[in-house]
Amino acid sequence: MYDYLVLGSGVAGLRAALELAKHGTVGIVTKSVLGEGSTEYAQGGVAVVLSDDDDIFLHYEDTINAGDGLCDKDAVLTLVEEGPKYIRELIAYGAKFDMHGEHFDFTREAAHSVNRIIHASGDATGHEIVRTLKDTVNKTKNIDKIENHFVVDLIVKNNRVHGIYAIDELTNAPALFHSKAVILATGGAGRIFKRTTNPEVSTGDGMAIAFRAKAVLKDMEFYQFHPTGLHLKNAPAFLLSESMRGEGGILRNIKGERFCHNYHPMAELAPRDIVSRSIFFEMMKTDAEHVYIDLTHLGHDFVKNRFPKIYSTCLSYGIDITKELVPVSPAAHYYMGGVETDLWGRTNIENLFACGETACTGVHGANRLASNSLLEGVVFGGRSAKAAIIDTKNISIEMVEPEVNEKIDFKDLEASYSEVQDLLWKNASIVRDKGSLTKVVEYLSSFLSSLENKIPETRRCGELKNILTVSMMLSLSALKREGSKGAHYRSDFPEKINESWHIVFKNGKFDPIIEG
């Protein structure tokens, strides 16, 4: 029993926990170990206005433009206005960002109008932020770390959350935790796709349990594909940071020809969705499985010192990025959609909050501006916690028992897992159409109907159920949006949609509704 439960331990969850601990007991529940998640692997940096050459309005405009007409303007304004305060606070906790003399070593990424990205150890920004927040959490009273616990479902009664039903991964025994408020900060869902930059833990858990609890989910068709994941046989799609292109890296096809300028005037620095599709179409045109990123003209010492983690990782696969072209292709990277919240992380379920990639705050719209995600995690992690403290000030914990249903017994679990990921990657990723999406929906409908009202016995079973749930919402939304916008591209409706409506899911039903 805790005053507050935080599900997930990336940047948003850890920042929320630190705020909550000032006002009560906190349990951080994570299905792996503390800090494991996408934040840890984030390379590029944090977009934040800390330079005299920058302006909050410029950051606001860049974010709005990247979002392709679907950003919530108030949410974007909140992000860019409060961002500097939260980053300075992070620095006060001990975060060390790269400096050029007495000033931050700012860099630029796609769709930014000025150099405003701060980074740490070249390309290890996420690791530095997680390190800082973990160290601070470990020094803070009132916080318990509940590791190796997989959250099966929320305990909800009369549209109010009372805690969680979980599985102890070491024993597979059920575990109940009750609280006044729950904050979802479980990250994204990259593992619904065969090819992703996300770690193994990114299986859409927070979104799926929120859906089953009848929370509203929004913009589920908008998934961002990073243009440059390492493309080697039997190697993971290791992220090659966008800042490589920001520093002057060039994309070349398998013939060695530069091509991005043929698709957009900003070439390699066009918004991510455009660069990803440019690579996709170039691969089709040249009948290739990848393109190359070329840094050889930037100088050995600069490349090695600016991208030490990428340099060493690629070297372990036999590629020296200072001397050789690096094979790359797009990979699933970031979910713009998620659990709908207000500006304080509140959902439609009383005392349930969401932040970070799990949430849809409206900041990213149809396409996230590079390096806004870490900033969003810190800002809205803090804001969600502040709202939870206020909203639960005069209530007590109720020991509500969950409904325990029939257990799931998956046959051929790993084969099913792989089949779903392969299906989504081939039919619902960078380029979509009605036929391919309908194929996905039909497959998922059959699978999900067999799991209705059943609960998993193990973490892996639960992750598969959650992947199926999130995949269904993505596919149905993508099918309903007959047009192209931001990161959502329909080859059968390639014309850009100018309307600013959204697609939402309500009441735990796979019935996408158009709003706005």
- Number of alpha carbons in the 13 Å side-chain half-sphere of residue 88: 8
Q: What is the mean pLDDT of residues 306-317?
A: 94
- Number of alpha carbons in the 13 Å side-chain half-sphere of residue 476: 21
Maximal CA-CA distance, the chain: 67
Instruction: Report the chain's mean pLDDT, rounded to a whole number.
Output: 94
pLDDT at 456: 92
Residue corresponding to tokens 């325990």? 404
> Which position has the higher pLDDT, 504 or 238?
504
Looking at the DSSP bridge assignments, the partners of residue 514 are: 503
pLDDT at 453 over 80: yes
Q: What is the mean pLDDT of residues 37-65?
A: 89
> pLDDT per residue over 131-177, tens digit each?
999 999 999 999 999 999 999 999 999 999 999 999 999 999 999 99
Q: Per the structure block, which two tokens stand in for 463?
A: 């992750």
- Distance, in Å, from the CA atom of 150 to the CA atom of 171, rounded to the nearest integer, reads 11
pLDDT at 41 over 80: no
pLDDT at 271: 80
272 is catalytic: yes
- Distance, in Å, from the CA atom of 339 to the CA atom of 319, rounded to the nearest integer, reads 40
Please say whether the beta carbons of 328 and 40 come within 8 A.
no
Which of 113-127, 300-314, 371-385 has the weakest average pLDDT? Answer: 113-127
- Distance, in Å, from the CA atom of 50 to the CA atom of 132, rounded to the nearest integer, reads 20
For residue 369, give the DSSP letter. Answer: P
pLDDT at 342: 98
pLDDT at 236: 87
pLDDT at 44: 73
pLDDT at 176: 97
pLDDT at 43 over 80: no
Please say whether the beta carbons of 61 and 383 come within 8 A.
no
What is the helix, strand, coil percentage profile of the chain, to 5?
A: 35, 20, 40
Spatial CA neighbour of 311 closest among 249, 255, 388, 381: 249
- Distance, in Å, from the CA atom of 67 to the CA atom of 313, rounded to the nearest integer, reads 32
- Distance, in Å, from the CA atom of 172 to the CA atom of 166, rounded to the nearest integer, reads 9
278-298: b (≥16 Cβ within 10 Å) or e: bbbebbeeeebebbbbbbbeb
**403 contact partners, CB below 8 Å, separation of at least 6:** none
431 residue type, one letter: V
pLDDT at 408 over 90: no
Spatial CA neighbour of 44 closest among 90, 89, 111, 93: 111
The model's confidence at residue 405, banded by pLDDT at 50, 70 and 90, is: confident
Q: What is the mean pLDDT of residues 372-391?
A: 97
pLDDT at 279: 96
Output the DSSP codes for 213-257: TT--EE-TT-EEEEEEEE--TTS---B--THHHHTT-EEE-TTS-
The model's confidence at residue 42, banded by pLDDT at 50, 70 and 90, is: confident
Neighbouring CB atoms inside 10 A of 396's CB total 7
pLDDT at 241: 87
pLDDT at 39 over 80: no
Spatial CA neighbour of 404 closest among 153, 184, 149: 153
Q: Using DSSP, how many helices (H) and how many strands (E) does the chain show?
A: 14, 23
Q: Where are the beta strands (DSSP E) in 359-456?
A: 359-360, 406-408, 454-456
For residue 148, give the DSSP letter. Answer: S
pLDDT at 62 over 80: yes
For residue 193, give the DSSP letter. Answer: S
Spatial CA neighbour of 466 closest among 188, 147, 171, 178: 188
108, 191, 272, 277: which one is catalytic?
272
The model's confidence at residue 403, banded by pLDDT at 50, 70 and 90, is: confident
pLDDT at 122: 80
Rounded-to-10 torsion of CA 312, 192, 208, 198 = 10
Q: Which domains does the chain carry?
A: 192-198+208-223+403-515 (1.20.58.100), 227-331 (3.90.700.10)
Please say whether the beta carbons of 35 and 41 come within 8 A.
no
Looking at the DSSP bridge assignments, the partners of residue 168 are: 149, 173
> pLDDT per residue over 70-107, tens digit each?
999 999 999 999 999 999 999 999 999 999 898 999 88
**457 contact partners, CB below 8 Å, separation of at least 6:** 167, 172, 407, 408, 409
Rounded-to-10 torsion of CA 311, 315, 321, 324 = 180
- Distance, in Å, from the CA atom of 105 to the CA atom of 487, rounded to the nearest integer, reads 30
pLDDT at 242 over 90: no
The SS3 call for residue 12 is helix
For residue 117, give the DSSP letter. Answer: E
Which of 42-51, 143-152, 183-192, 489-498 has the weakest average pLDDT? Answer: 42-51
**260 contact partners, CB below 8 Å, separation of at least 6:** 251, 267, 268, 270, 275, 278
- Both ends of the chain: CA-CA distance in Å? 40
pLDDT at 407: 87
pLDDT above 90: percentage of residues in the chain: 86
pLDDT at 38 over 80: no
- Distance, in Å, from the CA atom of 353 to the CA atom of 160, rounded to the nearest integer, reads 11
> pLDDT per residue over 201-211, tens digit each?
999 999 999 99
